[in-house]
Amino acid sequence: MEMISALIVMGALCLSGGLALAWAARKFAGNENALVVQIEELLPQTQCAQCGYPGCKPYAEAIVAGEADINQCQPGGERVVKALGQLLGADYRPPAKVAEKPMVAFIREAECIGCTLCIKACPVDCIIGAPKQMHTVITADCTGCTLCIPPCPVNCIDMEMLPPRWQPERP
């Protein structure tokens, strides 16, 4: 019996969530660009593609098009799901993947051959270098998105963990 009621409840929840999204899409119909901008403002702008789309804007577009769910942004975590839910009138659901600790890229400068491929991949332009010169990462701007790692032909980019952000405990 419990099992059945649980199923009914879950079903109803999914349905209501879906309906809400569909409703939101209709409410904002014709106004999609504005909605994309609003959604994008809530995303962390890490441009890490971990949501399955090549950046925050494409992900926002996918949400508006009804292709993506609101819980796919990994760095955003719970906060972004909640904010998106509030904006779109959808129910809360836990993030699809739990975010890792914050990281930054670090280039082992001695090994870098100066091919500039990582620069082209970095969505925030935080790698400096010129052809055949050593490259380096501006740590303060790096979002830890890892997009620079695959293109490097000599595998000389490491990810380094940042100290975790301190969170207050609930009294």
Q: Residue 91 is encoded by which pair of tokens?
A: 């129910």
Q: Which of 44, 77, 89, 102 binds ligand SF4 (CB under 6 A)?
A: 44
Q: Residue 21 is encoded by which pair of tokens?
A: 């999204």
Number of residues binding to ligand SF4, judged by CB under 6 A = 45
78 binds, among ligand SF4, another protein, none (CB under 5 to 8 A by kind): none
Indicate the burial class of 83 (C-beta count within 10 angstroms; 0-12, 13-18, 19 or more): middle
Q: Which of 17, 75, 85, 95 binds ligand SF4 (CB under 6 A)?
A: 75
Map the footprint of ligand SF4 across residues 122-141, applying CB under 6 A. 122, 124, 126-127, 129, 135, 137
**115 residue type, one letter:** C
Nearer to ligand SF4, 32 or 158 (CB): 158
Strands 103-107 and 157-161: antiparallel
156 contacts 112 by C-beta, under 8 angstroms: yes
How long is the chain?
171
Residue with tokens 């809530």: 42
43 counts as binding ligand SF4 under rule CB under 6 A: yes
89 counts as binding ligand SF4 under rule CB under 6 A: no
Q: Which helix (H) or strand (E) holds 32?
A: helix 32-42
In angstroms, what is the minimal distance from the CB of 8 to ligand SF4?
Answer: 33
Q: Which of 35, 39, 51, 63 binds ligand SF4 (CB under 6 A)?
A: 51
163 binds, among another protein, ligand SF4, none (CB under 5 to 8 A by kind): another protein
